[in-house]
Amino acid sequence: MKTIYYFLAVIILMVCACEEKKLEPVSGSLGKPGMVTILDQEAIPGGVTVTYRIPDSEDILSVKAVYTLSGGRTFESSASFYENTLTIAGFNDMAEHEAKIYTINRAQVMSDPVIVKFTPLEASFIKTAKTMKIISDFGGARFTWKNTDKAPLTFEFYAQDSVGSLQAMRIITSEADSMRVSLRGYEPAERRFGAVVRDYWNNEADTVYSTILPLFEEKIPKSGMSVMKLSNDANFTNWEGMDSYLIDDDIATFGHSPNSSIPAPFTIDLGKKVKLSRVVLFNRNYNNSYYSWGNPKTFDVYGCFTTPSTSGNWDEWTKLMECTQVKPSGSPGITQTDEDLAAAEAGFEFEFDLNLQPIRYVRIVVKSTWESSSFSHPAEIDFYGEMVE
């Protein structure tokens, strides 16, 4: 008998489980909610920020704006009932537009709309595109711009190929207020380059073009280089390290400064005066990570435009740039992604000012390491540019 009761219970449960469930609001409606009261509105690049007061009702869940962009696409912008501002954005002109603002209750019932009319300020992607400059760089073109609104924008960089067509060579997304990007690998012959700026809503500015002559660039040969030993330089001959390993074209070897040597300077004689374009520093692959132990994280680059004294008197040296290595993933510790690994294996590259006069003597000062060690062990350093004597 117990078996029969058990069998019947299972059948009843199966039948109940098969019944169709209706998806309904988690809360019953108290009726159509009241409308917001607009308190203020402020034009912003590509849109408007609206300040409002929600109606005095206990079941208001959120507020949303519905609007149509110039190209005909409809967008929504939402805010919870804890907020009192709403941003409406994505417009690519400075014409008058309107948006409908609704309150929504917990039963998903919408209020009647409040219509807001506004005229956006000039969109960030257009403002940024107007600042885009393309100039000759070593081995290619240098793109510079200002993004004063710090808006998240996408940049596409183009170069003319062998048959004269523009091909996309690099795409980045950035919110930085100013930035520069170089396309390299081109012979010193006139070539057309271009850049396109886009925003989150896929608005696109007119392409910026420039026909330029890339500057000649080569990797400065190590055969004529040497590590100078100035009196106040660090010694990089510790724990299997050698000074000469810093410029031996072998990233498997390294120089190693002693304990308590940070900041750790070392000096390179390039052998001849060079119009420098960039410096590339390679980290040691220590315990299968390039972002650990005594690998340099920040360093300064100095130059001496005369023959430096062996005392290493800093008054003779001019700071050329401050450099900070960036781990693409941003993840803490020694863990590294494929992107982190690719960046380290390519070397950390830093560009010199295009107006820097030719120089023969360069001094690197390691200021900090990835694990805040008191010593440093860079693997290799490369210089690029044009030898002038």
- Within 8 A by CB and 6+ apart from 235, the residues are 243, 257, 258, 261
Mean pLDDT of 107-136: 96
Is the CA virtual torsion 371, 375, 381, 385 positive or negative? positive
Given this model, what pLDDT does residue 28 score? 53
Given this model, what pLDDT does residue 6 score? 47
Mean pLDDT of 126-154: 96
7 pLDDT higher than 50: no
The C-alpha atoms of residue 263 and residue 372 are separated, in whole angstroms, by: 11
Q: What is the mean pLDDT of the chain?
A: 91
Residue 289 DSSP class: B
Query: Contact, 121 vs 97, CB < 8 A?
Result: no
Residue 30 — pLDDT band, cuts 50, 70, 90?
low
* pTM summary value: 0.78
The C-alpha atoms of residue 199 and residue 59 are separated, in whole angstroms, by: 36
Buried b vs exposed e over 145-171: b needs ≥16 C-beta within 10 Å? bebebebebbbbbbbbeeeeebeebee
Q: Which of 5-9, 26-30, 79-83, 208-212 has the lowest mean pLDDT?
A: 5-9
Query: Contact, 308 vs 318, CB < 8 A?
Result: no
Query: Contact, 154 vs 168, CB < 8 A?
Result: no
Query: Contact, 79 vs 63, CB < 8 A?
Result: yes
Structure tokens at 220: 């400065």
DSSP notation for 61-73: EEEEEEEE-TTS-
- The per-residue pLDDT for range 60-108, each reduced to its tens digit, is 999 999 999 988 899 999 999 889 999 999 999 999 999 999 999 988 9
Mean pLDDT of 125-132: 97
Q: Are strands 166-174 and 153-160 parallel, antiparallel or unpaired?
A: antiparallel
Q: Taking every pair of C-alpha atoms in the chain, what is the biggest distance, in angstroms?
A: 106
3 pLDDT higher than 50: no
The C-alpha atoms of residue 87 and residue 153 are separated, in whole angstroms, by: 18
Given this model, what pLDDT does residue 31 score? 77
45 pLDDT higher than 90: yes
Is the CA virtual torsion 238, 242, 247, 250 positive or negative? negative
